[in-house]
Amino acid sequence: MEPLNSIWGLPGVQRLLKKQQPDGSWIYPGTWKIAYPKHHYSLIETWKVFRALVEEYGFNKADPAAKRAVEFLLSCQTEMGDIRGFIGNQYATYYTGAVMALLIKAGYGAEPRIKKGFKWLLSMRQDDGGWAVPILTHKYDRKTMYRMTSQCAEPVEPDRSKPFSHNCTDMVLRAFAVHPEYRKSKEARIAAGLLKAHFFQPDNYTSYKASSYWVRFLFWWPNLVTALDSLSLMGYSINDSDIRKAIDWFVRNQESSGLWKTTYVEGKGESQNKRNRERKLWVTLSICRIIKRLHS
């Protein structure tokens, strides 16, 4: 069997690496708007590209380009431990967890800055044991929300009495699930219990609230596949009633071709382009891996 790095020379990989900047970042291709902080757009684009490199091509710390990307991402970490810049100067618990998951997959699980990130995430839980986006636990009007997320406003502490967000908890839990130590923690198990008990239900907050998002398997946003991936890595099995309910849904909705669609949201048909075909294959591969893990 050829080593993993044998695929790092593929044209798709090289096209991505060609655009990497000397500081390890990637430049956002869209129209620039005024945003705070200055690294906001670079942070978003770097996370998106690094996610593809790690999850689709198995990139890790053995590659110099991966090292540069990791250093850029961690340069956005505050002294508190969170990755800052996704939503202005506000706390982004969900993005911090998602970025950390990629860094751990790339081989940085023992990095002290990763441990600092876990410490921060554990300090930011809601009273029920899950996570929410702190600023969304408060009711601000649109004008105030824009000001607080586009300028250097002081970060808002969460109202911990408010319920968890399954979307946010999913993204945070990804970091715990891929870490051999933290996946076993009591706090991670509590959050996992909340997440799986919320399958097919609407989120507690307005962003991506509809229950239909559970079966929309596009991009990086939380869904049934991303949730089951974390839960299966944490040792949950097919014998769990919540897990069984989710797997039964996949069995009922598999296409005759053996594939699964990228979205099952009513009225949102799939495009038939080449890129979507690739996404269908990735979704199907992910589901097969999950089912195998749950049965083992």
Whether 2 shows a pLDDT value over 70: the answer reads no
Whether 268 shows a pLDDT value over 70: the answer reads no
User: Phi, psi (5° rounding) for residue 68?
Assistant: -65, -40
CATH class of 77-295: mainly alpha
pLDDT at site 1: 54
pLDDT at site 3: 66
List the chain domain ranges. 77-295
- DSSP one-letter string for 111-132: -HHHHHHHHHHHHT--TTS---
Whether 266 shows a pLDDT value over 90: the answer reads no
For the beta carbon of residue 183, count every other beta carbon within 10 angstroms: 18
Query: Is the distance from CB of 243 to CB of 228 less than 8 angstroms?
Result: yes
pLDDT at site 218: 79
Query: Is the distance from CB of 131 to CB of 192 less than 8 angstroms?
Result: no
What's the pLDDT band for 220 if we cut at 50, 70, 90?
confident
Whether 87 shows a pLDDT value over 70: the answer reads yes
What's the pLDDT band for 128 if we cut at 50, 70, 90?
very high
Overall average pLDDT of the 183-195 stretch: 98
The amino acid at 286: S
pLDDT tens sequence across 14-72? 999 999 999 999 999 877 766 788 899 999 999 999 999 999 899 999 999 999 999 99
| pTM reported for the whole predicted model | 0.94
Q: Helix, strand, or coil here: 263?
A: strand
What's the pLDDT band for 110 if we cut at 50, 70, 90?
very high
pLDDT tens sequence across 133-170? 999 999 999 999 989 988 888 999 999 999 999 999 99
Residues 6+ apart with CB under 8 A from 292: none
The amino acid at 269: G
Average pLDDT, the chain: 93
Whether 115 shows a pLDDT value over 70: the answer reads yes
d(CA 28, CA 46): 8
